[in-house]
Amino acid sequence: MLRFDPAFDTPTGMPYGTVNLRYGVPPGETPVTCTAGVGTFLVEFGTLSRLTGDPVFENTAIQALQALWDVRSDIGLVGNHIDVTTGRWTAIDSGIGAGVDSYFEYLVKGYILLGRPELMDMFQEYNKTINTYLKYDDWYMWANMKKGQVTMPVFQSLEAYWPGLQSLVGDVDSAMKSLHNYHQVWRQYGATPEFYNIPGSKAQEKREGYPLRPELVESAMYLYRATRDPFLLQLGRDVVEAINHITRTDCGYASIKDVRTHQLDNRMESFFLAETTKYLYLLFDPDNFIHNDGGHGDYVDTVNGRCVLDAGGYVFNTEAHPVDPAALYCCSTFKQDQEELQKLHTTLDFGSLLEDLEDFSHEKGKKEGILSFPTTGLDSSMDPTLDETDPRQWLQFDKWKKDKMTRSWNVEEKQHPAIFTCPAQPFYSRFSILGEMFVEK
C-alpha cells in the first residue's frame, strides 16, 4: 500500500488519477478525476485486506467512497468529475454511465463481497434519487446534479451494465424493461453506439462508434441466471452473430468506428477478450463452475479447520475478474479469531486463574466435604466413577475432563498443509445468488 499512498494523500481522501509507483504523484498532475476513478477500488483493495489481514487497503477505499457520499448534492446526485483536493465538482452532469458507472457498481459489490451494510444503504439512497430524476420510460438520462433537469437525453452503451446491477439487488422487473430497450438499439444497428439519442432514436453524431463493449451481455448473463428467460439467450445470439459478421478480421475482432455504416477501426480493445467474450461464454454455459449456486464446493482441510472453496457466488470486479468470497470470508474470519485470541491471551493471566480456581475448589471441598476420586491410574478412554446423586463432585470432574481433552488434542495426528489455513464459510452468510439477496442472521 505504501506505493499507492501518495495518490490518496489529499485533503479529501479521494485519490489522484495517476500515481507513479516509484516516484509518487507526477509533477503537474491534475487534481480533477472522474467519480468512477475515486469509487472503484473497494473490490480489489477489500480483497487484499481480507486475504492479508491488513485493513489499510479496505479502509483507504472506504474513505474515498465516503468522501464522495459526503459531497453529493442536496437532491442526492453526484457529478461526473471532481477536484480531489477541494471536493468541488467540476462537471455537474449526473448519470449512471461514463465517469460514474463503477462507483455505483462497487457500492453493491462491496456490500456483497465484504458484508458492509452501509454500502447498500448508500446505493439504495442513490437508487431512489436516480429513479426520481434520471429515469424516463425505462431509459436513464443525464441531469443537472443540483437541480435535476435533464441535460442530455441520451443512452450510453456503458450504461447497459445497470440492469445486471439491478438484478444483484433483486429489482429484476425494472432490469428486464431497460434491457429490452437496449436490445432494440442493438437490433437497429447491429451494435450499441457510444451515445444514442433517445428522442431522435438514432446514434449521436461523433459518438457513433462501438468498441466491442461488454456491458450489454454482462447484464444478459446476470439476468439469465435470475430468470432463465429465453429472450436473453436470443439477445446473446444476436450479439455473437453481429460481432462475427461485422467485426471479424484476419487477425482479431475490430472496433466499429461507425455503427451506421459498419466502418471498422484498426484496433481491438483488451476488454473485448477479458469481458465481452467471457460474459458471452458464461451466458451460454449453464454448467460452468462460476454458476455454482452453493449446492456443492471443495473442502480444503487445513491445520486450522476446514475451508470451503468454489461454492459459487463469485463477485466480478469491474473488469470481469471473479473473486471467490469464500476464500475472503475464510481467511478474514480466521485472522479475526486469531486477533481475539491474542487479545485475550495478553489481557488474562490464565495461570493465576487456574490457581485461584484450584484454591477455591480445595477450600470449598474442605468446607462442604466434597468426595474426591482418583485421577491417576485411569485408562485414558475411561471416565472416573461419579456419584450422580452428588452434584458437588462435578467441579473436580470438569477439571479432569479438560485435562483429558488437552492430552488427546496434543497427540492428534498432524493434518496436511493446504492452500488456505482458515475455517469454512457457512452457506447462509453468502450474498446474492440468482438475483436473490442472502444476509447473515
Q: How many whole angstroms separate alpha carbon 48 and alpha carbon 2? A: 14
Q: How many whole angstroms separate alpha carbon 10 and alpha carbon 5? A: 10
The DSSP bridge pattern shows strands 298-302 and 305-309 to be antiparallel
pLDDT digits (tens, 9 = 90+) for 50-63: 888 889 999 999 99
Q: What is the pLDDT of residue 163?
A: 98
Q: What is the pLDDT of residue 320?
A: 97
In whole numbers, what is the pLDDT of the chain averaged over residues? Answer: 84
Q: What is the pLDDT of residue 370?
A: 44
Residue 407: pLDDT band (50, 70, 90) is: very low
Residue 398: pLDDT band (50, 70, 90) is: low
Q: What is the pLDDT of residue 425?
A: 41
pLDDT digits (tens, 9 = 90+) for 338-397: 666 667 667 766 666 666 666 666 665 555 554 444 444 444 444 445 555 555 555 555
pLDDT digits (tens, 9 = 90+) for 2-50: 788 999 999 999 999 999 999 999 999 999 999 999 999 999 999 999 8
More confident: 232 or 376? 232
* Sole residue written with cell 445470439: 237
Amino acid at 5: D
Q: What is the pLDDT of residue 406?
A: 39
High-pLDDT (> 90) share of the chain, %: 67
Q: Which of 139, 22, 8 is nearest to 61 (CA)?
A: 8
Mean pLDDT for the stretch of residues 113-130: 97
Most distant CA atoms of the chain, gap in Å: 100
Q: What is the pLDDT of residue 302?
A: 62
Following DSSP, what letter does each residue of 414-440 receive, concatenated? PPPP-S--SPPPPGGG--EETTEE---
Q: How many whole angstroms separate alpha carbon 397 and alpha carbon 91? A: 73
Amino acid at 260: R
Q: Which of 145, 172, 175, 150 is nearest to 160 (CA)?
A: 175
Query: Is the dihedral angle over the CA atoms 75, 76, 82, 88 positive or is it negative?
Result: positive
Residue 438: pLDDT band (50, 70, 90) is: very low
Is the per-residue pLDDT at 97 higher than 70?
Answer: yes
Residue 222: pLDDT band (50, 70, 90) is: very high
Q: What is the pLDDT of residue 380?
A: 41
Q: How many whole angstroms separate alpha carbon 41 and alpha carbon 57? A: 9
Helix (H) or strand (E) run with residue 368 in it = helix 350-368
Which grid coordinates are listed for 39? Answer: 469509487
Q: What is the pLDDT of residue 381?
A: 42
More confident: 65 or 343? 65
Q: What is the pLDDT of residue 306?
A: 74
